[in-house]
Structure 1
Amino acid sequence: MMSFTKVGIVGAGTMGSGIATNLAQQGVAVILVDTAQEGVDRGVAAVNKFFSRAAEKGKISDADVEKAMSLVEGTTDLAKCGECDLVIEAIFEEFSVKEELFKKLNDIMPDDAVIATNTSCLRVSDLQKTVKNPNNFLGLHYFNPAAINPIVEVVKGEETDDAVFARCLEFCKNTAKKPIACSDNFGFAINRFFVPYANEAVRMLDEGIASAKQLDRVAQECMEVAAGPMMVTNLVKSSVMYHAQTNLAPHGAFYSVAESLKDKGPKGEDYAIDDADEGNPENDAVVADRLRAAAFFPVLQALDENVATAGEIDMGAGLALRFGKAPCELMDSLGKEEVTRILTPIIDQYGHAMPSSIDKVGSLRG
């Protein structure tokens, strides 16, 4: 049984339409809202395209397509969200833009409705202050492509009611997702390490340590990722990675944005990935150490902060990001001494303290 009967999704872009697709596929009525009719039309068309392709491949019937699409209503009228018992915000990753939306929803939503943000890096507790009922506010961070990616970070803000949090965890499970229960901190559980890992790859490119091709190859070899950090940065878009890394800045010096990302990100420029890969075993080892350090350090910090469990972080790394060697499992296999060696350059260069969870390496996964 679904814990929400009608869900409003504000923002009909890639994420919003993907969430709408997932929910309609699971039999949940959706109101997809955008500011312009062309945005609404694009979003509804994206949902229809997903189901139509599934029908063409024989995965679902034409009747299934019709049934799913009957559950999706597109509109430019934000007031329609007042019909919903859950609204998910999926708009631009800028605090002031989200704040403006939530203030509008304050005049629209019933007092008992739940409001969620799909933010990937902003603190839920900060956004929570902009709504009239902060107890009914939390984070539901879906991963792209939201229609099929199984991971959702369910983020408990400082004022989120325990029952609301539990209700949303159950809702995610009921809509074919694998939720990660997260406490609130910039980057939550997954982007907390994934974005700095990609940022570190850009730093090495900037420093002339390795080519983009070599960086991607070494990442595939040492962490068995499906796609390397430079390719993923282009796929996700440098603008998104730039904003995500900028939002992680409160965690300290290591989280500063790589120089070329400061330039390319605001302009949305891709990185060139050609066939140049002049790596050698010695150089590859340097690249591997820095990529692993950039993932391990934030993960251990997140474990210190009780953001999520080691098992949940690894589940997210494997299912959302397709890491063949998830961070905690990999650290356990390497052992405390080797992980300490890998992390020490970051500790020394950026002036951070060694996370206390280093003492648990070898048994992070229990």
Structure 2
Amino acid sequence: MTFSKIGIIGAGTMGSGIATSLGQQGVTTLLVDTTDEAVQRGLGAAKKFYDRAAEKGKMTAEAAADAYGKLSGSTDIAALADCDLIIEAIFEEFQVKADLFARLNPHLKPETVVATNTSALRVSELAETVDDPSRFLGLHYFNPAAINPIVEVVKGDKTDDAIFERCVAFCRDTAKKPIPCKDAYGFAINRFFVPYGNEAVRLMDEGVGTPAQIDRVAQDCLGVAAGPFVVMNLVKPKIMFHAQRNLGPHGAFYAIADTLAAKGDSDYTFDIGEDASSSTDSDAVIADRLRAATFFPVLQELDEDVATPADIDMGAGLALRFGKAPCELMDSLGKDEVARIVGQVTETYGHAMPASLAKVGSLR
């Protein structure tokens, strides 16, 4: 195994999910949070996962017990001192993470690797808050981390090449499919997935379609297993708000939709209702705009060499359950049609047409 003991900071949904996955792979893992209640809740979620897997015959009772036996918990950040790799999985706010790393720094061994599970913040900026940025990188697991196979491995400006490759190998060793990424807000997958959801809210705000209609069209035009409003209700719209806000530096198209901006951090879900629409004209508009909101960020990140087309499509399929992966879909539609679709974004928001449009037809 690439690392012998892993520390995870944050016992919430993501942290406990990562711990659950690692325990199942036989990795000794320490889960740390600020309260014993949070730690026990995280460990309890892992045990519940293993027990259910055993009940369904997906693992033996002995294997379930062994997996849970690999996990332990603590409320003391100093308990992480003997870990080889520490993964931070706390709230998606730069200053909250920076404050944590400041408290963690005194407890690190010189050889410890530190990773952030951020979904959209710049790894290189967070790296400046640790003592040794060369040993810092992004390991972005996707929810539900216990079963989702995709991990974005993000190389910061100062990340040591050997450590980066070691972490790519670690993901493979623990039954994940790594996507090596250049550091950029949103990385490879949320760079397009979050704007796609944001565009769905814009369409609702503008009265182009209802949430149910938009979800139905998304399932048809992008082959998604569940439409954007269903997904946002599952992960909570306030998470989408924070993720979209983090993408703001990419330009005008990435501005937050009105409803997301107005409700911000509040706890709410969208009322999806029933699809009573019968307008093929509005269906076509929705399909064009959802595809534009997906294609444009993908072409931009291809310009920036964030990730390869094959890896972007793999992430879209395995992490997000897109039945029609963006690069493959653009190739099938052809350069002229993609130019027409993406032109809606460039004309409306004043962005340049991505140079990677020229490669459409042979992206994959």
TM-score w.r.t. the length of structure 2 is 0.99
Residue 265 of structure 1: how far off its partner (Å): 3.3
* Equivalence map 1:222-233=2 (5 Å): 222-233=221-232
Q: Residues of 2 paired with 1:340 and 1:196: CA distance?
A: 18
User: Counterparts in 2 of 1:87-166, with a 5 A limit?
Assistant: 87-166=86-165
Please report how far the alpha carbon of residue 20 of structure 1 lies from its aligned counterpart in structure 2 after TM superposition.
0.2
Other-structure match for 1:30: 29
- Partners of 1:130 and 1:317 lie apart in 2 by 31
Which residue in the other structure is 2:182 paired with?
183
Residue 186 of structure 2 aligns to which amino acid in structure 1? G
1:140 deviates by 0.1
Q: How many residues align?
A: 364
Q: More deviation in 61-70 or 355-364?
A: 61-70
2:42 aligned partner? 43
What SS does the aligned partner of 1:166 have? helix
- TM-superposed CA distance for 1:268, in Å, is 2.2
1:237 aligns with: 236
Is the CA contact 1:151–1:179 (under 8 Å) kept in the aligned structure 2? yes
Task: Measure how far apart 1:178 and its partner are.
Answer: 0.3
For the Cα contact (< 8 Å) 1:12–1:34, is it kept in 2? yes
Would the aligned equivalents of 1:214 and 1:279 in 2 still touch at CA under 8 Å?
no
Contact 1:21 1:147 in 2 (8 A): yes
The alpha carbon displacement at 1:138 in A equals 0.1
Instruction: Determine the C-alpha separation between the residues in 1 that align with 2:343 and 2:178.
Output: 33
Contact 1:116 1:138 in 2 (8 A): yes
**Structure 2: 5+ residue runs without aligned partners?**
none
Structure 2 counterpart of 1:204, one-letter code: L
Identity of aligned residues (%): 63
Following TM superposition, by how much is the alpha carbon of 1:282 offset from its aligned partner in structure 2, in angstroms? 1.6
Distance 1:45 1:344 in 2: 49
Separation in structure 2 between the aligned mates of residue 279 and residue 323 of structure 1, nearest angstrom: 25
Partner Cα distance (2:356, 2:323) in 1: 22
Does the Cα contact within 8 Å between 1:79 and 1:108 map onto a contact in 2?
yes
Provide the C-alpha distance between the structure 1 equivalents of 2:223 and 2:257, rounded to a whole number of angstroms. 24
Deviations 1:70-120 (CA, angstroms, capped at 9, x unpaired): 110111011111110000000000000100111111100101100000000
Equivalent-residue separation in structure 2 for 1:58 and 1:351 (angstroms) = 55
Structure-2 separation of matches of 1:279 and 1:348 = 29
Aligned residue in 1 for 2:323: 324
Runs of 4+ in 1 over 6 A off after TM superposition: none
Q: Deviations over 1:239-276 (max 9, x none)?
A: 10000000000000000000001123311211100014
Asked if structure 2 preserves the Cα contact closer than 8 Å seen for 1:264 and 1:270, the reply is no
Match of 2:198 in 1: 199
* Matching residue's letter, 1:252: G
State the AA in 2 paired with 1:17: S
* 1:279 to partner: Cα distance: 3.6
Residue matched to 1:73:
72
Conservation of the 8 A alpha-carbon contact between 1:210 and 1:279? no
SS of the residue 1:267 aligns to: coil
SS at match of 1:152: strand
Listed one character per residue, the Cα deviations across residues 127-172 of structure 1 (whole Å, up to 9, x for unaligned) are 0000001000000000000000000000000000000000000000
CA distance in 1, matches of 2:137, 2:59: 33
Aligned to 1:361: 360
Match of 2:55 in 1: 56
CA deviations on 1:273-317 (whole Å, 9 max, x unpaired) are 001431422211110000000000000000000000000000000
What is aligned with 1:255? Answer: 254
Question: Cα RMSD (Å) of the superposition?
Answer: 0.7
CA separation in 2, counterparts of 1:290 and 1:158?
34
Partners in 1 of 2:340 and 2:59 — Cα distance? 52
Q: Which residue of 1 aligns with 2:214?
A: 215
Q: Is the 8 A contact 1:21 1:47 kept in 2?
A: yes
How far apart in 1 are the matches of 2:318 and 2:64? 26
SS in 2 for 1:107: helix
1:37 and 1:277 mapped to 2: Cα distance?
48
Cα distance in 1 for partners of 2:285, 2:276 equals 15
SS in 2 for 1:122: coil
The answer as to whether partners of 1:240 and 1:265 remain within 8 angstroms in 2 is: no
Aligned to 2:267: 268
What is the one-letter code of the residue matched to 2:38?
G
Distance 2:25 2:54 in 1: 16
TM-score by length of 1: 0.99
Q: Do residues 299 (structure 1) and 293 (structure 2) align?
A: no
Partner of 2:301: helix, strand, or coil? helix
Which blocks of at least 5 consecutive residues in structure 1 are unaligned? none
Q: What one-letter code is carried by the residue in structure 2 that aligns with 1:213?
A: A
Q: For the residues of structure 1 that align with 2:332 and 2:224, how far apart are their CA atoms?
A: 17
Amino acid across the alignment from 1:104: R
Cα offset, 1:359, TM superposition: 0.2
